[in-house]
Amino acid sequence: MTTRRDFVQSTALAGAALTIAPRLGAASSPRPRPAPKRILVLGGTGFIGPHTVRTAVERGHEVSIFTRGRTQADLPDGVEQLVGDREDDLTALEGRTWDVVLDNNSRDYRWVQKSTELLKDAAEHYLFVSSISAYDQSTIGGYDIAERVLWEPIIDESYRRFEPEDGWKDGDEAPYGLTKALSENICHAAFPGRTTVVRPGLIVGPGDRTDRFTYWPVRIDQGGEVMAPGNPEHSNQIIDQRDLTEWIVHLAENGIMGDFNGTGPTGRMSMAEMLYGVRAVTSAEVKFTWVSESFLQEQDIRPWQHMPAWMPGDALSFVSVERAVDAGLTFRPLAITARDTLEWDKTRPAEERENRRAGIPLEREAEVLAAWHARG
């Protein structure tokens, strides 16, 4: 008799094979090298910045970065480093021209207002890194839909995005999802027909200090009984920051305009497939115990914080990436992302590893598992 555990393991391994196989070929095909461009990166020293810059330079482009000059990063020789502040000092950008602007660090729509106003006649193309959080998921998120399993995505690039509520006025503070949606609108208005919007999901891989995915390779490598959240069949989407940034450079150098969901993989990946895929890169003895959404809620275990890279239900963890794939987005195998993330994590300072920004402490995990087993 096939148990649920046997079913989950077999479907996870089979699904991983199906989703990884086509990605191997896609990621291994080198992209043709177009004419060099002058690229301005707003940011460039944070998580996705350095690999963006390195990729652009390796592709033969001339790169300038605009930062506050506070964060050191390993950047190639020849990168022009302009210093200022998107809040109140864009002086270093005045009187200059570029072919493409890559805006990858806007946390405030008012920053985008200032940069697009200054640069709308100084560049041909503006690429804005937004987020799938720009989608108004208020009716599709939360524990109330925890049992819902989707086999086809319901969110594509035309799905409704956040809009200001009554009483909100331009200049007011805006929450993250709204600020991304407003920023997209500002870019399109300032660069009509010359804007690219990339909406990533969870960006992962070596260099990610948020621990929102890093937790899983680290925890699974520790071995033992690992608490796995919710329904193993629910969807999960992540994207390696190297795949994302290499594709962003591809969009920039080829002048590809439009709105795209920048997450992955190509096919549907379940939470079980992700966890078993991560398990494949470690020799640790691991047992996954799947704990229901309702019980996690009772125990005050919060999605995204205590259980990273997970939300109840499927909708915002399974958005369509068809347009992005058609526009050249490719994916390296999950095993490579997990292995590289784990190896990078072992190089982090001990204090950083001991005070992770996401994930459940081992002691609390053991308490919840004990209560779950006692519930029977």
pLDDT, one tens digit for every residue, the chain (376 residues): 334 444 344 334 333 433 333 333 344 467 787 889 999 999 999 999 999 999 999 999 999 999 998 888 889 999 999 999 999 999 999 999 999 999 998 999 999 999 999 999 999 999 999 999 999 977 665 444 455 677 888 899 999 999 999 999 999 999 999 999 999 999 999 999 999 999 999 999 999 999 999 999 999 999 999 999 999 999 999 999 999 999 999 999 999 999 999 999 999 999 999 999 999 999 999 999 999 999 999 999 999 999 999 988 776 678 999 999 999 999 999 999 999 999 999 999 999 999 999 999 999 999 999 999 999 8
> What's the confidence (pLDDT) of residue 316?
66
Q: Would you say 42 and 103 are in contact if contact means Cβ atoms under 8 Å apart? A: yes
> What's the confidence (pLDDT) of residue 139?
63
Burial class (CB in 10 A: 0-12, 13-18, 19+), 267: middle
> What's the confidence (pLDDT) of residue 277?
96
Q: Would you say 7 and 15 are in contact if contact means Cβ atoms under 8 Å apart? A: no
> What's the confidence (pLDDT) of residue 32?
80
**pTM for this prediction:** 0.89
Question: Which residues lie across from 85 on neighbouring strands?
Answer: 89
CATH number of 4-375: 3.40.50.720
Structure tokens at 122: 């100084």
Q: Where are the chain's structural domains?
A: 4-375
> What's the confidence (pLDDT) of residue 147?
59
